[in-house]
Amino acid sequence: MTPLHDPPRLAFFVSGRGSNLIALLEAITNGALTATPAVVISNRASAGGLDEALQRGVPILVQHPAKYISPHDYATDLLRMLHHYEVDVLVLAGYLKQLPSEVIAEFAGRIINVHPALLPLHGGKGMYGHHVHQAVLDAGEAESGVTIHLVTEEYDEGPVLAQERVPVMAGDTAESLAARVLAVEHRLYAATLSTLLDSLK
C-alpha cells in the first residue's frame, strides 16, 4: 500500500447534518488533528457542513450513486475522484450510502466511521440516526456510547478503534440521548483519527 502524504490527505463523506465533519475540520484548523482535508464527498447537495468546507477552501463533490448506469461505473468514478485528490484515508461522517467493494478493497485499513452506540449493539443496516437512539431506549439500556471503527464490507462490523460510554438518563428521548452522544463523537472522532493516522505513518 502506498505511503501516506505528510500531512495525510483525507476525503470526508457526509449525507446529513455534517456536525462531525465540522468538528473534524475545526480540529485540523486548531492543530489537534494533523491532516489535509483534500475533498468532501456527499450524496446530497443540501448536506450540512458543505458551506463550511467551501469556506475553508475544501473542494466539495456531490455524487449520487443511484444516477450511475451500473455499480461498477459508480465505483470507477469514485476511485477516479479519490485518486485525483490524492486521498490517503476515507472518513465517513454520517454517510448513509455503502461504499463500493472496489473502494473498500483499495483503501482497506484506511476507512474510518463513527457509530452512535456501543457496537456490536444497535448496529447494522437501517440503524442510523434517530433509529439507533430509539432502539437503545426501547431496549431499556442503562448506557449507550460511541464507537469508532474501521470500515469493511460487513456493515458496522469492522475492527473497533475506540469506544466511549455515555449514560442514558431517566426521561431521555432519542433526541436528548443523541445530543449527549454527539458531544462525545465530536471529541472522540478527532482523537481516534489522529491515532489512526499516526499508526499508518
Shortest reach from residue 159's CB to ligand GRF, in Å: 17
* 36 closest CA partner among 17, 10, 73: 10
What b/e string do you get for 45-82 counting C-beta neighbours within 10 Å, with b at 16 or more? Answer: eebbbbeebeeeebebeeeebeebeeeeebbeebbebb
Angle, helices 174-200 vs 130-138, to 10°: value is 120
Query: In this chain, which stretch among 53-61, 70-78, 112-120, 169-177 interacts with ligand GRF, using CB under 6 A?
Result: 112-120
Tell the smallest beta-carbon distance from residue 40 to ligand GRF (Å): 12
Q: With respect to ligand GRF, which residue has the nearer C-beta, 100 or 116?
A: 116
150 to 179: interface string for ligand GRF, x by CB under 6 A: ------------------------------
The gap between the terminal CA atoms of the chain, to the nearest Å, is 11
Residues 144, 74: Cα–Cα separation, whole Å = 35
The grid coordinates of residue 165 equal 460510554
Is residue 18 close enough to count as binding ligand GRF by CB under 6 A? Answer: yes
Q: How far is the CB of 92 from ligand GRF (least distance, A)?
A: 7
Shortest Cβ distance from residue 188 to ligand GRF (Å)? 10
Nearer to ligand GRF, 76 or 182 (CB): 182
Q: Which entry of 5, 72, 115, 122 is annotated as an active-site residue?
A: 115
# binding residues, ligand GRF (CB under 6 A): 14
Q: Least distance (Å) from ligand GRF to the CB of residue 55?
A: 17
Nearer to ligand GRF, 5 or 97 (CB): 97
Question: Among all residues, whose Cβ is closest to ligand GRF?
Answer: 94
Told to judge if 72 belongs to the known catalytic residues of this protein, a careful annotator would answer: no
> Taking a C-beta distance cutoff of 8 angstroms, is the pair 77, 66 a contact?
no
Q: Are strands 89-92 and 60-62 parallel, antiparallel or unpaired?
A: unpaired
How is residue 17 annotated by DSSP? -
> Omega before 100 cis (within 30°)?
no
Residue 40 in contact with ligand GRF, rule: CB under 6 A? no
Q: Which parts of this chain interact with ligand GRF (CB under 6 A)?
A: 16-20, 93-94, 114-116, 128-129, 182, 185
